Every structure is written in C-alpha cells, then in structure tokens.
Structure 1
C-alpha cells in the first residue's frame, strides 16, 4: 500500500496478513475474504481538541462497536477518498461514494462492506466543541450527508491534509485544530439545515398518506413507514416534533370525521356503523375515544345537534386516557 506523505507528528501503523488482522481488530473488526492478503495502514494526527485519521484497508467487511462511554462524546466526520463503502447504522443503509462526507456518533454501531480497497479520512471532534443546538435530538442523524459546496470543500481539505507533509510547530498546531473545528461545525450546521428540509418533506408525505388512507383499517406507523420506505423510528421522530404522536393524530382525525358526519346528519348510522365507516376497531373503542375527545357520548352529541345546542370543544386526550395503539 502506498503510504501518505505525513512527515512528522502523526502516528503510523501498518497491518499485514493474519498477524496484522489480529493486531488491528478491536472495537473495529475486519473480515477479509483472504486473511493472508489483508493489508491496512492507519495514521493519526492528534491536535488539541480534534484528531485527524487516515485509514487504508484492503477489501473486507466488518463491524464497528459502539465506543466505550469515555469515547461517546465525539462526532466523526469522514470522507471516502478511494473505493466505495456500503454500511449500516441501526435500520438505515448507506452507500457512500468517493468524495461524499458521512457523520457518525460514538454511540453508533456500524456494519460495513467494502467490496474493494478503500481510503477513509476522518476528523473526530468532541461534542464540547459543537454548538449545543446541533446536538439536540433529531437535529442531526448519522449517515451520508447531502453534497453541498461546503461538504465538497471539507472533503477536499482533508484530502490535501492527507497528501501533504505535516510538520507543525506549536502555533501551526493550534491553527490547524481551530480550522478543523470551524470547518466541521460549518458542515454540521449545513447538514442540520438540509436535514430539516428533508424532515419537512417527510412530514408532508406522512400527512398526505394518512389523509388518503384515513378510513382504512390497519393504518398505523408501521404501514406508513413501509409505504414511504423509511424506518418506523424515523416516522415517529419526524412526526412527533410538535408532541403529537402518529397514532393519536390518526385517531383524532377519525373522531373529527365522526363529529362532522353527526353534524351533517344526526340521523346517521349508529355507533357500530360509524365505527366501521371511520376505521375504528369496534363500537367500544369508538365510544371511549369519542368521550375522551369531546367529553360526552355520541348519543349526547347527536342530541345537541338535533336541538341546535352549542357543541363542545375538543378536549385534550392524554395517552393514559386513550392508548395510542387503539387506532383500528
């Protein structure tokens, strides 16, 4: 393997064959097709807060464990200089091509498959150096980031850092550390904005799917996730940003349609018929849900419509009063 041109400062380790495979395996485990042909080179440059790493490795698959608690307060921003990387975090699959930038957290467990030799460059940045609003739940997700001029610039900067000699005095050491932190935070800020746009698009798609299938039995987060080809966890995370769950939203929309049907024709079908018409699991389920939503029974609501009496406002329906799973 051709070595990088680091001339001073960085740690350099090489791993060849079965013995090298044994030595390199740890929290990251490599599984090559031919252990005797395994080759890897790892170079690391420690700065004040950040660290910069270069990893060259022959074709293999493997896993990366979630890091020990002492290391979890780090974010990893990396780029693929050579090869192509297929990898998985949780239920999300990623396909990373050359020049793309990815984000990983110390808490991520990763499965990877490299069908050809790869060269990865990574900056590790402590969360203490990242603006707090970027670390809030749901703001940033692990994965391959959308390509932007800034991610392209970040990738190019790391490539040049790996290709050029690194001979740093104390002042330059500090300058490089601050430059990497500023650039990494810029990439994270843009990624957060891109993620928000993607979340807004998904939120609209979820609402649209619910409205088109609202009266169908079995409409639930699992079915929505399958139809939109995303994980159930992501559906919940994106939809629940304002505190209302998917299941509760579906139930409330159905109850509002029941109320509108009663207002349009108080002689409409009985509770059992309304239950079937509006996607509830049965008479009792609709009765309990309606009382929780409007503070009265369907019969009492129907009587108010007939008498032209004021209709009740919708009441908040906490989860403990009507379980989210009871949506039909």
Structure 2
C-alpha cells in the first residue's frame, strides 16, 4: 500500500525484550549495559527497579508508515479522526520505537502520546523519563523516540499536522522537552480527548471527527504555551534586560490581538504604536522563530477559525468573518485559510457546526 503523500512516513518498530536501565552506562547495578547516554534523575531512575532479571529472545516487527495497517503479530489499531492519524499499541512488555523514514518528503507534524496502562521508559533526545499510566507526552514528529515497556501496556499515538497549528519551530522544541505528566493545566483536558479519538470507530460522523480533531489541536497549542512558560522559569533572575524584552514582547502581542480587525495593522503600525523602531520589532520576533507579519496572519486565522466553528453562526458569511478579522478580501482569506489548514473556510465550518 502506498503511503499518502500528505502524511509522514515512519518506521515504527516493536521489540519484545526486557527494558534496560536508562541510567548512564555502568552506573546502575541492575544492568551491565545501558543504551542511553544521558538520563534524568527522579522518575527516570525508578525505571532501573522495574527491569526483569531475564530477557526473552527479541521478536521484532517493523512497519513503514505509522498510519497504515499492516499484518503483524503485535496488537495495534490505526485509523483517521478528522485530520489526525491515531495508532494504539497494546500487549506484553516490549520496545516501541518511532522513527521518521529518512529521505522522504513528509509533512511536518507533532506526535502526541498517551500512556494509559503499564510503566515505560520514554527516550527522546538522549534523555530518559519514566512514563506512568495516564501520562501524556509530545514530540516533534521529525524526531525519533522510543518507549521501553516494562509490563503489559496500552499506548495511544496521535499525529497532528503542523499545518493546523500555529506553532513555530521554537515552540515545538519546547513542547518536545516537556516531561511525561498526567497533571497540570492542559493534560487533564487533553487526555480524555485522546482516549475518545483512539476509540472513535467507523460510525463516527465526519462532523464529530473534525470537531474532536479541532479540540485536540487547540489543546496541543495550549500545551505548547505551557511548555514555553516552564522552559522560561529557570531563566528568571538573570538581569532586567531579558525581563524587559519579555514584558515588551507580551505587550506587543496584546496590542496585535486587540487590533486584528484593523486592515492597516502592519509591522510599521505596531512599531509606531509601541514607540520602538521597526528594526527592533523585527529583531524581537526573529528571536522567537517568527516574523511580525506571520504572527498577525496566524492570529487572524486562529480567531476566524474559532468564529467559524461556533454553533449558531451558520448564517454569518465567510466574507463577513474575513472582514471582521482584518483580511483584505474573502478571496485572500480563503486562500490563506486553505494554505494553513488544508481545507476551505466553508468546509471547516460545515464539519464543525452542522449536524452530521
């Protein structure tokens, strides 16, 4: 079966074997060999106490493209939910590895994982973390990761195309750095939606599937915002210069949000209103992996998308929504919307507001 061109091709490998200790090689008495060069303290160290003393012979199955159903021994399910691809892995202790296929033209995505049963060691970017039942994690879909399952487990993996997210590379990187967790402000809201997506069957209406996918995408963006905040916390107290720039940047974003309706909202207008030079304005946004114009466009599209999805707004025309959020014309709005989300504004609204 050929992989759909719009979806990332990966190799997902599952190996039945005892999980190995995630501590630095030679530092743990429970294993002679450790495959991870770096490890975090705390929950990661607990993984060495979970390892069985004996390992069965490895049994490996490889799949091309995490999205396609293949005939393998391990229990797994793959299906689409709106613009999402969802895979469920379950079974006895083994290693589950996600690896993007090199040399393929793939669509950028965010990989979201929900570990619902068993204990595992999650390995990303050379670091290892303990993953408990109910823990949620995220990663850049272009980067490999592995989960060494220590016991019977269930794992839901969701690929979210970045075209439906307003995330810069910097924010995706911060998201990938979040440790697995079931608590916080976003994870308790996101986990139930991931479970619903994993359980969505063929009878799910397109409207319901798109609404569920949109809810997950919105919460992934909130999770990225929380990740940025967590990443910035240790850097406080390093002098007033960085703090002043952060305060100014927040003020700039608030000004943009309050004036999205204004068609004359340009980088020059923003700089003038905030009494800074245009050059300095561009420098502030470049440091965050974006541009002023791109940020304004993203925020307009975000708010227009939310308005189109609200129940009871079917009588509001696409042209009216475009004007409300500062687009020069309905044509420009529709073209920008399709480029960002892969569908027309009308199709998005139909899937989110009309009865299936």
Tell me which protein shows more helix as a share of its residues: 1
Give the TM-score normalised by the residue count of structure 2.
Answer: 0.44
